[in-house]
Amino acid sequence: MLKILKYSFYDLMRSRWSYVYFVFYLLLGVVLLFLNNNLSKAVITLMNVIIVLVPLIGTIFGVMYYYNSKEFTELLLAQPLKRSSIFLGQYLGVALSLSMSLILGLGIPFVFYGLFRSNDIWDFSLLLITGTFLTFIFTALAFNIALSNENRIKGFGYAILLWLFLAVIYDGLFLMSLILFEDYPLDKLSLFGTMLNPIDLSRTLILLKLDISALLGYTGAVFKKFFGTNFGLIVSIIMLSVWVVLPVLRIVYKSNRKDF
C-alpha cells in the first residue's frame, strides 16, 4: 500500500493541478494578509474560503484522479496485490497531496507574516486541521462516487451535486426546519443537524474559537454547555474523524466487491 501511496503522491506532486492549487492558496494568503493587515480578520475570511472551496476541490480532484488513473488501476489489479491497498494507497496519495498544498500554501505567508508571535496561532492551526479533515472527507466521498459509477459524466455530476447539497442546500433545509419547528425546543435538533454535515461541523468548530460561543450561550443551556466548554471541541473532532472513517471503510468494502 505504501508503494502505491508513494507512487500516487509523487505522480500528483508532479502534476500541474497540485501546483495550481498550491499557488492559489499562497496567493490567497498573501493577498489577505497584506491587504488586510489584520491576522484575526484574515482567519475569518479564510474560514469562509476553506469551508466552501476545500470540499469542492477535494471532490472534483478525487473523482478526476480516479477516472484518469483507471487504466493504471486495472494494470495494478492484474498484479498480486490486495485490492484495498491499491485503492487506499491512491486515496491517501490524493488526500495527502491536496492537504500538503493547503497547509504549505496557507502556512508559508502566515509564517512570514509573523504567526508564531501572534495569539491567533491556535485559531489558525484549527483552521488548517479542519481544512485537512475536509480534504480527507471529501476525497473519500469522491472515491466512493467514482467507484459506484462507471460513467464519468454521471460521476462528475454526482460529485458536484454532493458538494452543492452539503455546502448550500443542506443549510437551507436546516434553516427551514428550524423556522418551521420554532415552537419546539430546538437546541438538540440543531446540534444533531450540525453533526450530520461535515461542512457545518467544521464551520461551527472554527466559529467556536472565534465569535459564536457567547452568541450561542444566549440561546439556551444546552448550547452553552456544548459550546462553552472543551466538550464541544472534542465531540466535533470525533465526529469529523467518524466522517473520514466511514467513507474509507466503504471504499474498502466496495473495492473488494467491484467487478472490473
Nearest approach, Cβ of 217 to another protein (angstroms)? 4
E-state strands within the chain: none
Question: Cβ(133)–Cβ(206) under 8 Å?
Answer: no
Nearest approach, Cβ of 108 to another protein (angstroms)? 25
Q: Using the minimum distance from each CB to another protein, give the nearer residue, 75 or 215.
A: 215
Nearest approach, Cβ of 27 to another protein (angstroms)? 21
CA gap 102, 115 in Å, rounded: 16
Interacting residue ranges for another protein, rule: CB under 8 A = 40-41, 44, 47-48, 51-52, 167-169, 171-172, 174-175, 178-179, 182, 186-187, 189-191, 193-194, 200, 203-204, 207, 211-212, 214-220, 223-224
Instruction: Give me the DSSP letters along 192-259.
Output: HHHHT-HHHHHHHHHHHHTTHHHHHHTT-HHHHHHHHSHHHHHHHHHHHHHHHHHHHHHHHHHHHH--
Q: Using the minimum distance from each CB to another protein, give the nearer residue, 108 or 212.
A: 212
Q: Using the minimum distance from each CB to another protein, give the nearer residue, 1 or 167.
A: 167
Question: Cβ(226)–Cβ(232) under 8 Å?
Answer: yes
Residue 59 has a CB neighbour count (10 Å cut-off) of 28
Question: Cβ(212)–Cβ(102) under 8 Å?
Answer: no
Q: Using the minimum distance from each CB to another protein, give the nearer residue, 13 or 207.
A: 207
CA gap 213, 224 in Å, rounded: 7
Q: Using the minimum distance from each CB to another protein, give the nearer residue, 136 or 227.
A: 227
